[in-house]
Amino acid sequence: MSDTTLADAIQADTDSGRRLRVRAEIPWLTIVAPAVFFVAFIGAWELLVKVRDIHVLLLPAPSVIWRQFVEDFSLLRVLAKNTAIESLKGVLIGAVMAIGLAGLVQPVGWLNKSLLMYSSTIKALPIVALYPLCTVFFGITSAAVVAMVAIGITPIMYTFAARGFSGTSQEDDLMRSISAGRFIRFRFLVLPRALPYVMAGMKTAVPLSIIVAIISEYFGGRVTTLGSHIRRESQQLHTPEMWSAIVMACLLGIVAFGAVSLLDRYFLRWHTSRRDD
């Protein structure tokens, strides 16, 4: 083979690599179909309330809820912000604890196994029932809500992180062959290898954190939060106000999930599941 044909051959190999990057199709179905469904659902709701003349305190029409939402928006924004901050703090504390613990415990097989068993069990328990205990320690404060979220998040993040850290692979041989020390191995291999698992955990943990935060606030949290607002309005039979707060809670959940998904996309842009084929 002469030099030119060798170069041609390399070029051919190179081109075949380039072809791997095919543009992903725009998923019309996953956007248009749910949108149509949503509009139909809201329309049916509106129609039902109008036709059957359902009382506003029982079930307000979407248009009424929307008007209320617009009217309350500046208040709801503040409440949502406070709730978001509480959940975010709780998630961060829970995630750091879980990841740190999983990283520390990972080399000790039996300890890792027993902690995994505990966290799987705890995950299945209705941990919100612990909230009264949190208020015993922290009083009816923001800190109690944060603690509750952290407690709820830790076992979930632990199971995901532990799975991420447990992988041994041929890359470990590579790290040894270039005489990488423990710390470098952890930073360059173990941590990034666990990242897909951590992100998968976050996708579950972040929406859950908002649920836990709102429920905890509902049972007694700082006044200026979504949960306690919902409780107050429901107790006073302010049904449209309650619904507009629920709309805000849903929006908060969607925004939070969207943010995690974006982070996931950014951090895992190299990942197998992102390969455009």
Applying CB under 8 A, the residues found at the interface with another protein are 1, 6-7, 9-10, 13-14, 16-17, 20-21, 170-171, 173-174, 176-180, 184, 188-189, 192, 195, 269-272, 274-275
Closest CA to 154 of 197, 123, 125: 123
If the CB atoms of residues 67 and 193 are measured against another protein, the closer one turns out to be 193
The alpha carbon of 195 is separated from its chain's Cα centroid by a whole number of angstroms, namely 14
- Closest CB to another protein among residues 180, 215: 180
Residues in contact with 143: Cβ distance below 8 Å, sequence separation at least 6, in sequence order? none
In angstroms, how far is the first alpha carbon of the chain from the final one?
33
Provide, rounded to whole angstroms, the least separation between the CB of residue 6 and another protein: 6
Q: Which of 64, 92, 120, 24 is nearest to 242 (CA)?
A: 64
> Which is nearer to another protein, 77 or 187 (by Cβ)?
187
DSSP secondary structure, 145-174, as one string: HHHHHHHHHHHHHHHHHHHHHH---HHHHH
Q: Which is nearer to another protein, 147 or 161 (CB)?
A: 161
- How many CB atoms lie under 10 A from the CB of residue 2? 7
Tokens matching residue 254: 């969607």
For residue 8, the minimal CB distance to another protein (Å) is 10
Instruction: Name the minimum Å distance from CB 240 to another protein.
Output: 49
Q: How many CB atoms lie within 10 A of CB 171?
A: 14
| Nearest distance from C-beta of residue 21 to another protein, angstroms | 6
Q: How far is the CB of 270 from another protein (least distance, A)?
A: 4
Cβ proximity to another protein: between 7 and 133 the closer is 7
CA dist 215 and 235 (Å) reads: 15
Nearer to another protein among residue 52 and residue 269 (C-beta): 269
The minimum distance between CB 196 and another protein, in angstroms, equals 9
